[in-house]
A and B are shown apart, each in its own frame.
Chain A
């Protein structure tokens, strides 16, 4: 069973993604901060991280940079309400960029593509 980490400061988003992707057959861990995300990446043997950019205490882009330094092969999907970050070159090291939407199909497809290839 593939293990996903969802990093988002919003409780309901974390709950939604955990429920949705659990039903899709993933083992889902959720955290709210960058620090917790780094710890989980070091210790949990993850297959993919879904990372929000606008975290409450720090930028998701900084967290991504540290994650990629420590685990360069670990796929990261940036998941945000902001389309503007697409043009920010700091986001280009992410493996995918998916806008938040009530339709979770695009995110599901992208995760499947990254985990199983």
Chain B
């Protein structure tokens, strides 16, 4: 067990050295939602007023929807980057090199997934902080509860990324599926438009997406002033999604399968 933990630490450091050389995609997916927030803030304010959405006391600024919604949406675009970690190793032939060592595949996958998890949390942290500084977002509830919602959703996305790697044979399959999924889930989950404005056919489907629970949890804390107990259900559902995706990934993952990385 101690040896496994030590190896996991080595693998996390190794993966971080690999990823830190090219953080441009993460940077872009952090800047883009900030640009969109600046453009969409008045629109969201009007839309929420029309819909009668009043997530908390005080005047609406639009940031209550723009910041959590767009943060959730753009974090979902990072799902394909989680899968890329493993497709990249196939492209470099280092996946098989790893498999020829004494490191178990499960430990390898978990260790490598730690870095994208950290990057997802960092993306949320930057977006929420920038939302407060630039757009006047006020967090009325507990910061601890906010952190747990973010962590549970990030875990869910990492598990989804590993599932994408396990289920797809080529990187093109995975990135295409991930991008479509990100848009559909963002739309259904109320990340694009306030939940109260979702079309009638979409509203019943919304709870079947993790993005719905993430947006709901974030808004409960930010606008509704909720503490940990107030978002326990959201955190629990997100954790269940994460567990389900991870289990499915475990069932579908064939470590010996040759993946096609660059086409």
Q: Check if A and B associate.
A: no
Q: Which residues of A contact B (CB under 8 A)?
A: none
Q: Which residues of B contact A (CB under 8 A)?
A: none
